[in-house]
């Protein structure tokens, strides 16, 4: 995949202005990110994704440019594109902050129902729950984690169901980290 048009922004405000103006007429944009060691201003990964979700866009492939920067492709969401638990969690946050646009809601409406998903309660499959409870430290720590973190991590594991090796590896890693009271991933 070739890098087409690129954009460098220093903040979420700049990125949101670009999205507001271009979200309906552009097919993609490659957002430039300077690596942290350069000390150059850059939008955070989280801000870039959150602002994109507000306008019905999503992040995709990332490519290295050189030792100082990389780029990530952003595109409008496809109508059949499912939402990960992590992105649902971001959307819940953006709704509470009043940042989601009507266009953004329309792009995710097939997989995110504002009335139902806003305060989605966590349901854990019996097989996952059994393994989690089998480790006393993991279970104790798990109960103290935020609901959003638990939803994202359990959702990530559930998305691997049907691919046994990946499912088991993800679940065991989660239990190991939870037993150590360590969180990982974007949402903590």
**Nearby residues of 180 by Cβ (< 8 Å), 6 or more positions away:** 137, 141
- The residue with greater pLDDT, 109 or 47, is 47
User: Residue 110 above 80 pLDDT?
Assistant: no
Does the pTM surpass 0.75? The reply is: no
Mean pLDDT of the region 15-42: 95
DSSP SS3 for 59: strand
Alpha-carbon dihedral 44, 46, 49, 55, rounded to 10 degrees: -90
pLDDT digits (tens, 9 = 90+) for 141-170: 998 988 778 887 888 888 888 888 989 999
- 5: confidence class by pLDDT, cuts 50, 70, 90: very high
Q: How far is CA 163 from CA 53, 137, 158, 174, 184, in A?
A: 28, 27, 10, 16, 22
Q: Provide the pLDDT for residue 187.
A: 53
Report the alpha-carbon distance of residue 117 to residue 91 in Å, rounded. Answer: 10
Mean pLDDT of the region 81-93: 81
Report the alpha-carbon distance of residue 138 to residue 142 in Å, rounded. Answer: 6
């Amino acid at each position: 995949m070739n890098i087409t048009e690129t954009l460098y922004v220093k903040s979420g405000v700049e990125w949101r202005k670009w999205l507001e103006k271009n979200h309906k007429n552009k097919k993609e944009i490659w957002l430039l990110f300077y690596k942290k060691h350069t000390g150059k201003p850059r939008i955070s990964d989280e801000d870039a994704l959150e602002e994109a979700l507000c306008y019905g866009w999503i992040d995709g492939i990332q490519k290295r440019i050189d030792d100082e920067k990389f780029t990530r492709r952003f595109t409008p969401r496809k109508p059949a594109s499912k939402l990960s638990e992590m992105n649902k969690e971001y959307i819940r946050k953006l709704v509470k902050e009043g940042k989601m646009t009507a266009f953004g809601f329309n792009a995710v409406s097939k997989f995110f129902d504002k009335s139902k998903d806003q305060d989605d309660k966590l349901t854990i499959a019996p097989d996952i729950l059994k393994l989690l409870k089998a480790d006393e430290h993991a279970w104790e720590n798990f109960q103290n984690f935020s609901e959003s973190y638990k939803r994202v991590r359990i959702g990530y594991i559930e998305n691997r169901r049907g691919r046994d090796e990946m499912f088991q590896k993800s679940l065991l890693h989660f239990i190991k980290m939870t037993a150590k009271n360590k969180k990982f991933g974007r949402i903590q």
